[in-house]
A and B are shown apart, each in its own frame.
Chain A
Amino acid sequence: MTRPTTPVLLAALLTGLLTAGGALAAQADQVRASQAWIRVLPDALPAAGYVTLRNDGEQPAILRGASSPAYAQIMLHRSDTSSGMSHMSMLDRLAIPAHGQVALAPAGYHLMLMDAATPVKAGQTVTLTLRFDDGSTLATDFLAKPANAQ
């Protein structure tokens, strides 16, 4: 094994500096959340969370998931009804393009909220913490609405 040469050390140092620079413009800081709501379902059934995410930054923001003390598990999902069949699949990541927006909305992207710690009731506000690719987070208040909300 050889010792790291000066250029390698310099590169490592630069990478560290860039990462530090990147942290200043955290993905979560570029994103604004609006129209955040939850469609509440009875009993222990999984519910869906919806939110519109606008990215005002120069770089894409990558949503990786969410967490909340209110739910044991939250998964990023996408419904697909294009074939006449309705199907849900799990997503690892959802990119919000620079100067763009992505709507998590019924029959499309949504957060699947599972195993509520205590039953969530319509009218309540539940805080979900959205997590981005760089580890930055965005706490967002979601309004719980009844199952048959239009």
Chain B
Amino acid sequence: MTLPRVRRRLLLPLLLAVTLVAGLALGACHRDEPLPWRLTNIGGHMPDLAFRLTDDGGKPVTAADYRGKVVLLYFGYTHCPDVCPLTLAHLHGVLQRLGAKADDARILFVSVDPARDTPAVLHAYVNAFDKRAVGLTGAPGAIEALSKRYRSAFTREPGSADGSYEVSHSSAIYLFDQAGHARLLATPAASSDDLVHDLSLLLDTGARP
């Protein structure tokens, strides 16, 4: 059978497309249905949660201490009266909306200003926002390692007043599932609805292998 010239030219792309769609459909059968995330899906693109820091009770902790919890990781510092409190108040409102479910979530507020943020200062600060928030501090190297692990960044520059300094830090919020896998990325501007939706999904699906 001979096909007209034009049709023959279309045949190969058509076959390729059919194969591709069939392949995708088959793949979908083998895998779990993709979850309808509203935040940025970073599953498989960021390493699992890992750190060695000190919590706001003064106790040495590692990421393993938070396995079984959905973690919201956020970098900030307590001498930050505007954006950090706004973000933490926002996350508090989101956890309140999740009700009892939110007991399986933890906000990990990692200080990028360990010189000033002692466990005691951090404790008072995070608890002013939410009882499920934990302040983490530690050796500058350990904090930098965690920040770099998630391609987050922070800088400290001398300020205008004597002895003061200005801190810049990434405003991203990283969400981890109960197995410590990095799953989602949010900005502080993410809506309460989207955060509630995705956190609810994360809390429902539990730990995945």
Do these two chains really belong together in a complex? yes
Q: Does more than half of chain B's interface fall in helix, strand or loop, or is it mixed?
A: mixed
Contact with A along B183-199 (1 / 0, CB 8 A): 00001110000000000
Q: A120 in the interface, Cβ–Cβ < 8 Å?
A: no
Interface size for chain A: under 10, 10 to 19, 20 to 34, or 35 or more residues? Answer: 20 to 34
Given contacts A147-B128, A148-B130, is CB(A47)–CB(B81) below 8 Å?
yes
Which residue of A is nearest B127, CB measured?
Answer: A42
- The verdict on A85 contacting B125 (CB below 8 Å), with A113-B81, A148-B92 known, is no
When distances are taken between beta carbons in the complex, the residues of chain B under 8 Å from A2 are none
Stretch in A7-15, A87-95, A136-144 with 4+ CB within 8 Å of B: A87-95
Are A48 and B153 also in contact (CB < 8 A) when A84-B171, A86-B170, A150-B93 are? no
A150 cross-chain contacts in B, Cβ below 8 A: 89-90, 93
Are A86 and B81 in contact (CB-based, < 8 A)? Answer: no
Most buried by B among A43, A79, A110, A147: A147
Question: Are the C-beta atoms of B82 and A106 separated by less than 8 Å?
Answer: yes
Chain A 70-90, CB-CB to B under 8 Å as 1, else 0, gives 000000010101001111111
The answer to the question of B102 belonging to the interface, with a C-beta cut-off of 8 Å to chain A, is no
* Docked-complex contact B79 and A45, CB < 8 angstroms: yes
Across the interface, B83 reaches (CB within 8 A) one of A41, A47, A79, A147, namely A79
Who on chain B is nearest to A89 by CB? Answer: B166
Chain A, residues 33-65, CB within 8 Å of chain B (1/0): the string is 000000101110111100000000000000000
A42 proximity list for chain B (CB < 8 A): 124-125, 127-128
Q: In angstroms, how far is the closest chain B Cβ from the Cβ of A47?
A: 5
List of A residues within 8 angstroms of B170 by Cβ = 84-86
Find the residue from B81, B124, B130, B187 having the highest chain A CB count within 10 A: B81
Given A43-B121, A88-B166, A148-B130, is A110 in contact with B171 using a C-beta cutoff of 8 Å?
no
Interface residues of B (CB under 8 A from A): 76, 78-86, 88-90, 92-93, 121, 124-125, 127-130, 153, 159-160, 166-172, 187-189
